[in-house]
């Protein structure tokens, strides 16, 4: 990347929550952000949410473009990256953030609950990393940051599918870090703890209180707490860090 080139940042699943906050933290002059989202349930509401992410980035003086693409479908990921390359010609940062939950106790978990979570949370980052890696290897530079979870190292009741996907993304991070290091590309993970977003809003007050009891800093995290860790790993200050998992959890796991 030369001094006059725009920094091109790709964030998956950024119509809300942590993804939107990641876009906000990268926003600014000289940076262009491409993000995707995917909501078969309510496409109109999701389009409005994506427009809100664009507005947040523009308010901070940056440029952003949201595109509808399902990270778990190879053709859609391929078109998404073709569009980014067509418009920007390079990718400097990829943040694999898109994720879903379909919680259920192991013995009751349905096959499609397992498959959908593994598909979005693990196959998605594989497909997006594969696309970005080809581009970054040619560039001989790039930063990839994967959003894992504290439960990927601790395990969690009722989340065999989600925990397996997040443990898997940690393995993916370390393998990609080894394979891509010779070409100047770093790959790291950020593992959030309990962060206040739509994903955790569904928890009952009791479950929330139980969770808070396990956090030494005695508060839930904010999306911005995660976003600033991502920005650090993607910055020049994090240039000598690769294959690592940065925990952002208020001390919930040490």
Please report, as ranges, the residues that interact with ligand NAP according to CB under 6 A: 12-19, 36-39, 46, 70-72, 97-100, 120, 147, 149, 192, 194-195, 197-200
Give the angle 195-70-68 at the CA atoms, nearest 5°: 95
Cβ proximity to ligand NAP, 101 vs 186, nearer residue: 101
Q: Which candidate, 70, 38, 32, 64, places its Cα nearest to that of 51?
A: 64
| Those residues with Cβ within 8 angstroms of residue 35's Cβ, 6 or more apart along the chain or in another chain | 10, 11, 12, 13, 14, 15, 19, 23, 50, 53, 64, 65, 66, 67
Q: What is the DSSP letter of 6?
A: P
- In the complex, least distance from residue 21 CB atom to ligand NAP, rounded to whole angstroms: 8
Q: How many Å apart are CA 107 and CA 2, to the nearest integer?
A: 54
Cβ proximity to ligand NAP, 13 vs 142, nearer residue: 13
Cβ proximity to ligand NAP, 6 vs 52, nearer residue: 52
Does 162 qualify as catalytic in the annotation? Answer: yes
The 63-68 sheet, strands edge to edge: 63-68, 31-37, 7-11, 93-96, 142-147, 185-192, 245-248
- In the complex, least distance from residue 252 CB atom to ligand NAP, rounded to whole angstroms: 10
User: What Rg do the C-alpha atoms of the chain give, in angstroms?
Assistant: 17
Torsion of CA 105, 16, 176, 165, to 10 degrees: 10
Six token digits for residue 33: 């952000």
Cβ proximity to ligand NAP, 51 vs 239, nearer residue: 51
- In the complex, least distance from residue 123 CB atom to ligand NAP, rounded to whole angstroms: 10
- In the complex, least distance from residue 11 CB atom to ligand NAP, rounded to whole angstroms: 9
Six token digits for residue 69: 């693409």
Cβ proximity of 132 and 10 under 8 Å: yes
Cβ proximity to ligand NAP, 17 vs 62, nearer residue: 17
Cβ proximity of 118 and 72 under 8 Å: no
- In the complex, least distance from residue 107 CB atom to ligand NAP, rounded to whole angstroms: 23
Active-site positions read 162
């Amino acid at each position: 990347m030369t001094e006059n080139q725009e920094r091109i940042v790709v964030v998956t699943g950024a119509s809300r929550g942590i993804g939107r906050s990641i876009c906000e933290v990268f926003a600014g002059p000289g940076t262009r952000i491409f993000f995707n989202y995917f909501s078969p349930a309510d496409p109109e509401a999701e389009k409005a949410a994506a427009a809100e992410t664009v507005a947040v980035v523009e308010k901070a003086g940056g440029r952003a473009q949201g595109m509808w693409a399902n990270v778990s479908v190879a053709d859609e990921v391929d078109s998404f990256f073709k569009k980014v390359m067509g418009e920007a010609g390079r990718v400097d940062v990829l943040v694999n953030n898109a994720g879903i939950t379909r919680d259920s106790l192991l013995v009751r978990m349905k096959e499609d609950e397992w498959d959908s979570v593994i598909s979005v949370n693990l196959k998605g980052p594989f497909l997006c990393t594969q696309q970005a890696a080809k581009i970054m290897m040619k560039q001989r530079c790039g930063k990839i940051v994967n959003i894992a979870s504290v439960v990927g190292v601790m395990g969690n009741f009722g989340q065999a599918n989600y925990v397996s996907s997040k443990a898997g993304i940690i393995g993916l991070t370390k393998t990609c870090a080894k394979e891509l290091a010779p070409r100047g590309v770093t790959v790291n993970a950020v593992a959030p703890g309990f962060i206040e977003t739509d994903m955790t809003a569904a928890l009952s007050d009791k479950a929330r209180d139980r969770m808070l009891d396990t956090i030494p800093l005695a508060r839930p995290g904010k999306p911005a707490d995660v976003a600033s860790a991502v920005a650090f790993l993607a910055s020049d200050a994090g240039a000598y860090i690769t294959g690592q998992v940065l925990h952002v959890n208020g001390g919930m796991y040490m």
